[in-house]
Structure 1
Amino acid sequence: MASTPKKKEIVSQVPDFINVYSDGTIERLDDKPKVPPSPLDPQTCVSSKDIFFSNDPSFKARLYLPKLTQNNQKIPILVYFHGGAFCCESPFASHHHKYCNVVASQGKVLIFSIEYRRAPEHFIPTQYDDCWVGLKWVASQNNNETKDPTNCDPWIINHGDFNRVFIGGDSSGGNIVHNIAIRAGAEELPCGVKIFGAYMNHPFFWGSKPIGFEKVEEFEKISEFANLLWNFVYPNAPGGIDNPMVNPLDPKAPNLATLGCSKMLITVGGKDRFRNRTVLYYEAVKQSEWKGEVELFEDEDEDHCYYMFDLDSEKGKIFIKILADFLHL
């Protein structure tokens, strides 16, 4: 008698984000459809293309170049880290593609949007390491005298201003920005490149205990999700949810004075579950001995990453202008 096939069951998950099944298959619930690059986006006049910037392992990025007024015009470079809870999404997703087109156009920046590896196939700190590799590759394009076609890109070489290199990200991507900025304060980038500015939109930070003005009841409610997510993407993390990568306010975390950039923009929604922790991070940066300039923008009536799917709304346009102004200065 033939045996009955085993029923496919969920063995681990982050609700609304990802399911891992008993047969090893993975269902990413939060993934959006992917779209190809465009030689010329009709709405923004931004050109985009995909490139490989590493072969071992294989890494891709999507580049965005806004319409320029001069042939050899130099513009700021933004190395961008997408969101998606470290386990979902892609730089090629439709909403990230639209977002980068708009930011490149309004901010007049060249964007290098990195495809980093995701959990659970690759646990943290892989995501941070992949993004560091991408940033190092961009920096290596400065003073590229060999013009080796297998390891350079003409958009970056011809139009990138290496004195104005930015890093930026949303949600988990904002968390990555913090960790990359800390690493840049301790390690040198190639060719003398420094990170000029960093923006963190609605970053994911947490910890094991409420601090500052955080209320215990609200904190405990949010902790259920925060701990579940962190344990999923970084099982057995040293220090658990107080690991410095997710809790930069822990006493054992690197000193915020070592942040490796000159200016920073932090944004948050007033209804975002991580709002309080983000504001506390902003205040900690301000009160540290860091020599840079930091600013905070909060929309009190909005939730986590509200702008990402509503870029054409009035509030979406205001948000992009704030971001563009930061990248212009």
Structure 2
Amino acid sequence: MASITCKEVEMEILPFIRIYKDGSIERLMGSPLVPPSPDQDPETGVSSKDIIISQDPTISARLYLPKLDQAHLQRLPILVYFHGGGFFFESAFSRDHQRFLNSLVAQAQVVAISVEYRLAPEHLLPICYEDCWAALQWVASNSIDSSTIGANYREPWLNHGDFKRFFIGGDSAGANIVHNMAMRAGVESLPGDVKIVGAFLTHPYFWSSNAISELSEMDQASHVDKLAVPNLVWNFIYPSAPGGIDNPMINPTAPGAPSLAGLGCSRLLVTVAEVDVMRNRALAYYDAVRKSNWEGEVELVRVDGEDHAFHILNLDTQNAKNLVKRLASFLN
């Protein structure tokens, strides 16, 4: 009888990931990877393709282009999107994010670039932030005359984009990335002097050392299994973070954090779900932006009866369809 080798577990964060002592990693969640649809998605008419943004480091992306009306070939808004997944699972090439972006791109009529940044624990934070900033720079560089940057560097699908209507957006960890990209854009210029017009954060992954105390006793009782996860995950993906869970990248309202008046965009949309354990952190962020000296316009969307990232995980529900419609409206 053949012997069965049982690998020893080093650590795990259930139901998401398991790390073995031999260094192997088992990701327990995440939707399957799917190919792009270069010949148009049959439901939405959206075309998609995969490209390499950088070879060193390795950064790739999935591009989306709506069905173009030959009679009205006006330039379209540009959306750079960052997927969720706690910084350590999911992908720009996953089925759930593909379906969501097909729907959003079709309704909003935008050119979208979904960034495949490197994941923890193989690549601990802040690597993913650097990858996403590099991707933003690459997209913005396509606004520059090809004779300046080289014709081979330019992405043809971005010729349909209007760099004066430049947006960023993301869900969960991706929404956290959106905030940090907007803050960096407030102090560093993008190529071609491209400006971020708007940013949307759906169910942002923000947390703090006092986040649990902010929840009601009823919420704490009903979410006892979920309350430890945000802290566990942050310490797992960014163990060297100065300040730990109160690092400004995860807690933008922490004492000593950079002023939110420095956000480098003109419009901001924050969305929260009623039964998401991280909703209070998102609400605190919204309030802090509103009370800062930031000169932009901030909006809040609340959805009752839903949990974290419901619009990605359950796209066919009415609440998800309504949220996608609201996001499309924001992009236009």
TM-score, L = length of structure 1? 0.94
Q: Secondary structure of 1:325's match?
A: helix
Identify the residue that residue 256 of structure 1 maps to in structure 2. Answer: 260
Residues 243-274 of structure 1, C-alpha deviations (whole Å, 9 max, x = no match)? 00000010211100000000011101000000
Residue 44 of structure 1 is matched in structure 2 by 44
Letter in 2 for 1:62: R
Contact 2:212 2:220 in 1 (8 A): no
Output the CA distance in 2 between the equivalents of 1:5 and 1:34: 30
Tell me, yes or no, if the aligned pair for 1:210 and 1:219 is still in contact at 8 Å. Answer: no
Q: Is the 8 A contact 1:53 1:151 kept in 2?
A: no
* CA–CA separation in structure 2 for the residues paired with 1:212 and 1:149: 55
1:153 to 155, 163, 178: 155
SS at match of 2:146: coil
Q: Which residue of 2 aligns with 1:21?
A: 20
Provide the C-alpha distance between the structure 2 equivalents of 1:313 and 1:217, rounded to a whole number of angstroms: 27
Match of 1:59 in 2: 59
1:176 aligns with 2:195: no
d(CA) in 2 for partners of 1:170, 1:210 = 20
For structure 2, the 5+ residue unaligned runs are none
Equivalent in the alignment of 2:29: 30
Residue 144 of structure 1 corresponds to 145
- Residue aligning to 1:270: 274
The one-letter amino acid of 1:41's match is D
Q: Give SS of 2:265's match.
A: coil
Aligned CA distance change for structure 1 residues 240 and 218 (closer, same or farther; 3 Å): farther
Matches of 1:125 and 1:292 in 2, distance apart?
Answer: 27
Q: Distance in 1 between matches of 2:96 and 2:49?
A: 16
Q: Distance in 1 between matches of 2:52 and 2:73?
A: 24
Deviations 1:272-328, CA, capped at 9 Å, x for gaps: 000111111111111110000011111121111111122222212111110010001
For residues 102 and 4 of structure 2, the distance between their equivalents in structure 1, rounded to whole angstroms, comes to 48
Aligned length in residues = 324
Q: 1:46, 1:226 → 2: CA distance?
A: 35
Question: Which segments of 5 or more consecutive residues in structure 1 lack a partner in the other structure?
Answer: none
Asked if the contact 1:210–1:216 (Cα under 8 Å) also holds between the matched residues in 2, the reply is: no
Change (3 A) 1:269 1:236: same
Q: What secondary structure is seen at the aligned counterpart in 2 of 1:32?
A: coil
For 1:290, the equivalent position in structure 2 comes to 294
Q: Distance in 2 between matches of 1:212 and 1:48?
A: 44
User: What's the Cα RMSD here?
Assistant: 1.9
Distance in 1, Cα, partners of 2:26 & 2:301: 35
Matched, 1:237 2:238: no
Q: Which letter maps to 1:22?
A: K
**One-letter amino acid of the counterpart of residue 323, structure 1:** L
Name the % identity: 52
Bigger shift: 305-314 or 212-221?
A: 212-221
Cα displacement (A) at 1:211: 9.1
Deviation of the 1:8 alpha carbon: 1.0
